[in-house]
Structure 1
Amino acid sequence: MNYIWEVVGRHPTGQQPTGAETIQKLCDRVASSTLLEDRRDAVRALKSLSKKYRMEVGTMAMDHLVRILQTDRADTETLGYALDTLYNIICSDEEEEPEENQQKQEDDLGAQFTEKFIQEPDNITLLLTLLEEFDFHVRWPGVKLLTALLKSQCAPVQGIILVSPMGVSRLMDLLADSREVIRNDGLLLLQQLTKGNTAIQKIVAFENAFERLLEIITEEGSSDGGIVVEDCLLLLLNLLKNNSSNQNFFKEGSYIQKMKPWFEVGDDNSGWSAQKVTNLHLMLQLVRVMVSPVNSPGATASCQKAMFQCDLLQQLCTILMATGVPADILTETINTVSEVIRGSEVNQDYFASVNAPSNPPRPAIVVLLMSMVNERQPFVLRCAVLYCFQCFLYKNHKGQGEIVATLLPSTIDANSISAGQLLCGGLFSADSLSNWCAAVALAHALQDNLTQKEQLLRVQLATSLGKPPVSLLQQCTNILSQGLLKRPQW
């Protein structure tokens, strides 16, 4: 701290000056010094005080710091000190976790200084211009400062950047920076920039973001990569979710095909790190974004077709039937496959043909239904299987017929477990969740299908030895009338 006293001098009374007095003297020095070295030393001293005296530095020095950014453009060292100081007063970056009340005060203070900074939109434009400076000591603190401003006051800062000439393009250049720390912090900046702003999302996409992000994901090891892969995936989700224009651009650019290697997880599924689980979960979410039921039917059908043609669906089904896959990844894979096949005849037919690698092989549908009616399986997994079954039967009269046929006597194979047997077992199980899942599943086998409704009336059940069989409908009625079905306790 000695250099601070050398810059500001000693107190007239010989006592050590207060923090506010010191900061005021430093501000005067910044404003009045004609020598660059004096201004640089004063800004450096303000930086060293900006964490301890955040309020005082923000209140007294902000305008002087902005003026430094405008007038001392040729001196990258001074620029770097000024940007670091502005970052410290905008964003509390304490190493120790503050208490809740203190954190709120820090956030309120940051919002107050952000509002003051962006009252003059030219300040953001100036910051965007400085980001073109290649010097590390200017570009890196500039990236961090702009990210902090977006976190504090997202919509207003987005609005200024959107109308700034080449504003978004300048920020996209960060992804091409050869210095990883700047590229990685550029990803965080773009995440904030694209939140909830469709116009900016479109500009970022057309600035070749998809190509660059997929390249980074590959370079970093795909699902086996680290936090950088996660950041790329979060940015991709920002760009694609609820943005039909970007989704179409992603599909037309053949980027769906480039997603397939993400899901080649290999035969050894024992080493699933927490980061790999997170990465793969986000990758599955990206697939679901492209085939979401809320998208337009034509767009969803087109993406479903592309996923089948490039073997992405096949790859997902391989994960579905693999051993050692973590439960949350298995659940999300089931949900993803569900939406890839929903309403797509070709994809539904393929899914019906998938067999689990067991001995003897069993249809994937049967294996999944076994989990659905197994009360030891997690609730979310059982619900995912039900959703998958629903999507398999959605507008699929052929599939509905095949499921109902497994309930009819002429098609029952005593040596194998069928979908019909599992559904009937679940329907009359002592487990109330199995009752509900099986009933809903059977309802989807009948939906909008008069033929299968008539077929189901033919289904006969053997209730006990020595007694004649009763129809499925009669057995359901008997149980309901006896009040034996319990309300599910979820």
Structure 2
Amino acid sequence: MNFLRGVMGGQSAGPQHTEIETIQKLCDRVASSTLLDDRRNAVRALKSLSKKYRLEVGIQAMEHLIHVLQTDRSDSEIIGYALDTLYNIISNDEEEEVEENSTRQSGDLGSQFTEIFIKQQENVTLLLSLLEEFDFHVRWPGVKLLTSLLKQLGPQVQQIILVSPMGVSRLMDLLADSREVIRNDGVLLLQALTRSNGAIQKIVAFENAFERLLDIITEEGNSDGGIVVEDCLILLQNLLKNNNSNQNFFKEGSYIQRMKPWFHVGDENSGWSAQKVTNLHVMLQLVRVLVSPTNPPGATSSCQKAMFQCGLLQQLCTILMATGVPADILTEVNHVGAGATQCKLKSGILRRSRCQLKEKQ
């Protein structure tokens, strides 16, 4: 931590000497106290200081916090405090604005602390094992911490998880958690985990991700759902875009047929919510991914055929004729419909719908 100590020493407007002494005393209590209550209270106090004195707590306490995760697993309360404190140190999602000079001096603390944390790969493995705990006070902060690590140094953390025994499988269990906040944050974690990593994308897909994500989208109300639907759709994009293996698995698993209800749109003169418009846009982008001209010709044509046979194409044409549909959605449906239509069908259903749309306008 020499770099960070240099940054800390160079700050002219840092914390008072008493705060630094307090943090040091708390770290000493965590390291040396034989009573669990004393260690727990000390970690809780470090958590309360970790947002305001992020740099100082990070420098002095990180090693002690990791040791707590290793040795005090039987006490979910102290584990939760330790995970929350590490999250505050590593995450760049600050709730309050700090002074501009302080921001420049501290640099990207999140990346620096992440680099220190993952330098010992067993720290990430330890975190993965903690996510198997069902206790809310352990699992939820663990999910947030791992997500922050992936946001800071994604490729490095992805590689560690990839070589960890059952690493990806452990994370897939989050989608089945009955507590919505953990399930929803689990979706965000998997978004960061699968970004630009084909190997992890394949593992996630074969761990039943498509089934679980489509179930969540249905439960949340398809296009009428909230931001959770959007998050699930973005994760589906990560899994399918430029991944021919996953696209084939998606088609062979009859998941294209489950996309049809997404586009059930009646005449809605009462207006569309901004979230519904966003959801429809991402849903249409997923159709484009499956019928992209950059996919292997055979894969594209088989997806086109499946979309026609299950009635998804007809559903898109119905949207073109519905009233109250925003203009940008109509434009997007028009483009997507062209890609989803087989050449021999272009003179049929889609062309008729386009002609009717022009007459309607």
1:114 paired residue number: 114
- Structure 1 residues 310 and 85, CA, compared in 2 at 3 Å: closer, same or farther? same
- Alignment partner of 1:134 is 2:128: no
- C-alpha contact (below 8 Å) 1:308/1:347 kept by paired residues: no
- 2:108 is paired with a residue whose SS is helix
1:367 positional shift:
4.4
The structure with the largest alpha-carbon Rg is 1
The higher relative CO (CA closer than 8 Å, separation ≥ 6) is in: 2
1:309 positional shift:
0.4
- After superposition, residues 225-236 of structure 1 pair within 5 angstroms as 225-236=225-236
1:266 positional shift:
1.4
- 1:293 is paired with a residue whose SS is coil
Q: In 1, Cα distance between the equivalents of 2:347 and 2:103?
A: 52
- After superposition, residues 17-166 of structure 1 pair within 5 angstroms as 18-96=18-96, 108-166=108-166
1:348 positional shift:
4.3
- After superposition, residues 434-449 of structure 1 pair within 5 angstroms as none
- Alignment partner of 1:323 is 2:319: no
1:191 paired residue number: 191
Identity across matched positions, percent: 75
- Alignment partner of 1:217 is 2:217: yes
1:286 paired residue number: 286
- Structure 1 residues 184 and 367, CA, compared in 2 at 3 Å: closer, same or farther? closer
Any gaps of 5 or more consecutive residues in structure 1? 1-15, 356-363, 372-490
Cα offsets for 1:215-241 (capped at 9, x unmatched):
000000100000100110010011001
1:5 paired residue number: none
- 1:187 is paired with a residue whose SS is helix
Q: In 1, Cα distance between the equivalents of 2:101 and 2:241?
A: 34
Aligned structure 1 segments of 4 or more residues deviating by more than 2 angstroms:
92-107, 267-271, 346-352, 364-371
- Structure 1 residues 101 and 219, CA, compared in 2 at 3 Å: closer, same or farther? farther
TM superposition score normalised by structure 2: 0.92
1:38 positional shift:
1.0
1:18 positional shift:
1.6
- C-alpha contact (below 8 Å) 2:68/2:82 kept by paired residues: yes
- Structure 1 residues 178 and 335, CA, compared in 2 at 3 Å: closer, same or farther? same
Task: Name the amino acid aligned to 1:192.
Answer: A
Q: In 2, Cα distance between the equivalents of 1:334 and 1:173?
A: 38
2:340 paired residue number: 340
- C-alpha contact (below 8 Å) 2:320/2:357 kept by paired residues: no
1:267 positional shift:
2.2
1:405 paired residue number: none
Cα offsets for 1:164-193 (capped at 9, x unmatched):
011111100001000010001001100000
- C-alpha contact (below 8 Å) 1:69/1:82 kept by paired residues: yes
- C-alpha contact (below 8 Å) 2:265/2:322 kept by paired residues: no
Of Structure 1 and Structure 2, the greater helix share is in 2
Cα offsets for 1:336-360 (capped at 9, x unmatched):
001012x5313543323x35xxxxx
Task: Name the amino acid aligned to 2:307.
Answer: M
Any gaps of 5 or more consecutive residues in structure 2? 1-15
Q: In 1, Cα distance between the equivalents of 2:213 and 2:109?
A: 35
Cα offsets for 1:20-67 (capped at 9, x unmatched):
111111111111111111111111111111011100111111000000
- After superposition, residues 79-478 of structure 1 pair within 5 angstroms as 79-96=79-96, 108-341=108-341, 344-352=343-351, 354-355=352-353, 364-365=354-355, 367-368=357-358
Cα offsets for 1:274-302 (capped at 9, x unmatched):
00000011000011110011111110100
Q: In 1, Cα distance between the equivalents of 2:105 and 2:302?
A: 50
- Structure 1 residues 74 and 270, CA, compared in 2 at 3 Å: closer, same or farther? same
1:270 positional shift:
3.1
Task: Name the amino acid aligned to 2:128.
Answer: L
